[in-house]
Structure 1
């Protein structure tokens, strides 16, 4: 029986329900990451005894499942997008935006599918947009490909933001601090391709990089979904 199937216990002097528990856990994670979340800390924030939470949630893993599904509600658009490409594009961008609001989300993406109602609604909307465009295996690979790109790009961006927070250096400040060493290495002539990239490449911000890469992935998916003429 999953956490969504198990009924909640009756209310006691300090009112509790899964909604309040999850909200407290999300707030803790937003403040300090997943490592800041435990049933004891959640109970303390709700002014309840830790053992009371076990009537609602049996483990921290179940709590993470509920937290993840709570954020999936932010990923599901208010209005259905247009064609399949727009559905996948909107899902990717809304997932990135949710991760920027809740950086811990990056640590939970890409694992086993979550079975909560919000995650299932996102999955249903995605698959419905692709229904009939190709066989089921091709559709599955298309969704997996876009999801893999989205997850990887988000994790890279969140890792950079965490490094910035840990070092106190912005991306530009880190580049300036590392510049002399990199210049010395490139001047050896051992890394000509890398030197060309560093000196001649165009720098873009994280949002533009994400959007451009996503469109390339969607182009590749479109080629697989379009039947040969």
Structure 2
């Protein structure tokens, strides 16, 4: 195990068998950290700041989390608890698409989450329950176990990238970047230098809603990955 492995927090019991009852819980600490990150961004989350939010001293918080990385691990697993992971039902592709749509909603509620999922997936109990639910959707699909894990990982990566683009577009609209970008694209298309691109974009219908685009992207990926739209494979 690497030094300061954040998943070490799951190897330790929340409450030791001896000694006084803890004054705080992991959930209380994680929720305080999530609230700070939702409001001010992940960079604003610190041991000291979270300790102040729960009414504890910074030194005493290290009784619950050994590092900032462990704190982030707690945060990621806490928001993973927002998924609905009830019994599986319906075609495999529809089940995975439902999980992906839930993931998009979770990432929008917690904008700091999407970049993290590309680099450091959580291994906490809520996160593992989500993974187990996703694999249950693929249980009857004729696909090796590693391929199933890769399919779920790619679904998460696509969702993360899509949400990051959405959030960037919203931020760009606020400072005038989107209109400027639209003018630039119009100039490029009218230049005649890119006829195939101009042809592809000519006569487009009303832009699809982000939800429709996301559903189309995920459906295309899952179909290509061999996840059936109905029945089993």
TM-score where L is the length of structure 2: 0.82
In the alignment, what sits opposite 1:4? 10
Aligned residue pair count:
219
In the alignment, what sits opposite 1:192? 195
The structure with more helix, counted as a fraction of residues: 1
In the alignment, what sits opposite 2:123? 115
Deviation at 1:176, TM superposition (A): 3.3
Aligned counterparts of 2:61 and 2:89: Cα–Cα separation in 1: 38
Deviation at 1:79, TM superposition (A): 5.4
Deviation at 1:208, TM superposition (A): 1.2
Higher relative contact order structure (alpha carbons within 8 Å, sequence separation ≥ 6): 2
Match of 2:168 among 133, 148, 159: 159
Deviation at 1:152, TM superposition (A): 2.1
Aligned counterparts of 1:56 and 1:211: Cα–Cα separation in 2: 40
Aligned counterparts of 1:175 and 1:47: Cα–Cα separation in 2: 43
In the alignment, what sits opposite 1:125? 133
Question: C-alpha root-mean-square deviation of aligned residues, in Å?
Answer: 2.5
1:88 equivalenced with 2:96 (yes/no): yes
Query: Structure 1: any 5+ residue segments left out of the alignment?
Result: none
In the alignment, what sits opposite 1:102? 110
Q: 1:29 to 1:189 in 2, by over 3 A?
A: same
Q: Which runs of 4+ in 1 moved over 6 A?
A: 223-226
Query: Structure 2: any 5+ residue segments left out of the alignment?
Result: 1-6
Match of 1:23 among 13, 28, 31: 31
TM-score where L is the length of structure 1: 0.83
* Per-residue CA distance 1:165-200 (angstroms, 9 max, x = gap): 5x2x4xxxx443444444333332112233334443
